[in-house]
Amino acid sequence: MLESLYWVIRRDLTIALRRRSDIFTTLIFFMIVVSLFPLGIGPEPDTLRLIAPGVVWVGALLASMLALEQLFSADHRDGTLEQMLLTPQPLAPLVIGKVVAHWLVSGLPLVLISPLLGLQYDLPWEGLRALIISLLLGTPTLSLIGAIGAALTLGLRSGGVLLALLVLPLYVPVLIFGAGAVEATLSGLGGDAHLRMLAAILVASLVLAPLAIAAALRVATD
């Protein structure tokens, strides 16, 4: 079972690394969205520091949502997904493998670039650290929850917009605790409680989401 997980991750990573432009599109989208806010709000450093956690987190939310459409669509189109469903392996580990690979190419780059964006907003060092840790704990959850939506909308005509409608309300707790962690750290309260909630949500969705994703994929390939 672990072996199949390993091979799914390896396969997806190989494919993703051969089409590197997709990774960069998500990343650049994230950077552009975050850079647009100061233009709309004004360059006051105090205001920017105040809105930084929320802006970076909303940017990460949107960027990881945009990347979701590619999660299953290529495999669905060329029939690989059907073959995966037909293997004797349980579907959940395969699904986890796909989500992990997807997070490595779409979520992890966001985490890595986030301190740079935080600096643009003049966040102090503790704030940057909280931002990185909260994104590190939060973005895998976004990928897991988002994968449910991606599997449900697989092969539908209006997939992209529908995906946003389904997934964004479910992202709310992650947004609240993620941005909250940074904010609590900045205000001196300490963001530990928020980070622990993020970790708890991650563990819970790691257990439950693959079941829903697998069920949705079975519906999609019917």
Partner 1 sequence: MASGFVNWFKFSSPATFYPVARTIGRSAAVIAVILIAIGLYMSFFVAPTDYKQGEGYRIIFVHVPASWMSMFIYVVMAIWAALGLIFNTRLSAMMAQSLAPTGAIFAFLSLWTGSFWGKPMWGTWWVWDARITSELLLFFLYLGYMALRSAFDDPRRGDRASAILLLVGVVNVPIIYYSVQWWNTLHQGATIKLGEESTMDDTMLIAMLIMTLGFWAYSIAVAMMRLRNVILERERSAGWVRQMAGEGL
Query: Which residues bind to partner 1, rule: CB under 8 A?
Result: 148, 152-153, 156-158, 162, 165-166, 168-170, 172-173, 176-177, 180, 184, 197, 201, 208, 212, 215-216, 219-220, 222
CB of 31 to partner 1, least distance (A): 26
Cα–Cα distance for residue pair 124/115, rounded to 1 Å = 10
CB nearer partner 1, residue 15 or residue 173: 173
Contact (CB, 8 A) for 151 and 72: yes
CB nearer partner 1, residue 9 or residue 186: 186
Tokens of 29: 């989208």
Q: Which residues are CB-contacts of 180 (< 8 A; sequence separation ≥ 6)?
A: 53, 191, 194
CB of 161 to partner 1, least distance (A): 9
CB of 215 to partner 1, least distance (A): 5
CB of 19 to partner 1, least distance (A): 28
CB of 52 to partner 1, least distance (A): 16
Among 173, 134, 172, 171, residue whose Cα is nearest residue 149: 171
CB nearer partner 1, residue 21 or residue 187: 187
CB nearer partner 1, residue 9 or residue 213: 213
DSSP 189: S
Cα–Cα distance for residue pair 55/220, rounded to 1 Å = 34
CB nearer partner 1, residue 105 or residue 152: 152
Cα–Cα distance for residue pair 27/35, rounded to 1 Å = 12
